[in-house]
Amino acid sequence: MRISTQTFYARSLSAMLDQQSALSRIQNQVATGKRVNTPADDPIASVHILELERAQSESEQYQKNSDSARGRLSLEEQSIADVGLVVQRVRELVVQASSTGSLTNSDRQSIAVELASRLEELQDIANRKDGNGEYLFGGFSTLTQPFAVTAGGTAYQGDQGNRLLQIGPTQKVADSHSGNDVFMNIEGGNGTFSTAATSTNTGTGLITVGTVTDRSAWVPDDYSITFTPTADAYEVRDGLGALVTSGAYTDGTAIAFNGVQVTVSGTPALNDSFAVNQSSNEDAFTTVQKVITALNGPGGSATGNAQLSTLLGNSLQQLDQVTDHMLNVRSQVGARLSTLDNADSSRDALGVDLKTSLGELRDLDYATALTQMNQQLVGLQAAQLSYSKISQLSLFNYLS
Domain ranges of the chain: 43-188+281-381, 191-280
- What pLDDT is recorded for position 2? 59
pTM above 0.85?
Answer: no
- What pLDDT is recorded for position 301? 81
User: What is the rounded CA–CA span in Å between residue 94 and residue 98?
Assistant: 6
- What pLDDT is recorded for position 389? 64
- What pLDDT is recorded for position 20? 67
- What pLDDT is recorded for position 152? 83
| Spatial contact of 202 and 259, defined as CB atoms under 8 Å apart | no
User: What is the rounded CA–CA span in Å between residue 29 and residue 35?
Assistant: 6
User: What is the rounded CA–CA span in Å between residue 330 and residue 39?
Assistant: 52
- CA 165 centroid distance within chain: 10
- What pLDDT is recorded for position 55? 81
How far CA 95 is from CA of 100, 103, 111, 126, 319, in Å, comes to 10, 12, 11, 25, 11
Alpha helices (H) along the chain = 5-32, 43-97, 105-126, 179, 284-296, 302-362, 366-390
Residue closest to 63 by CA, chosen among 174, 201, 168? 168
- What pLDDT is recorded for position 238? 95
Which fold, 43-188+281-381?
Answer: f41 fragment of flagellin, N-terminal domain (1.20.1330)
Torsion angle, CA of 57/61/67/71, rounded to 10 degrees?
Answer: 160
- What pLDDT is recorded for position 260? 96
User: What is the rounded CA–CA span in Å between residue 314 and residue 317?
Assistant: 5
- What pLDDT is recorded for position 104? 82
- What pLDDT is recorded for position 94? 94
User: What is the rounded CA–CA span in Å between residue 210 and residue 195?
Assistant: 7
User: What is the rounded CA–CA span in Å between residue 58 and residue 171?
Assistant: 13
Residues of the chain with pLDDT under 50: none
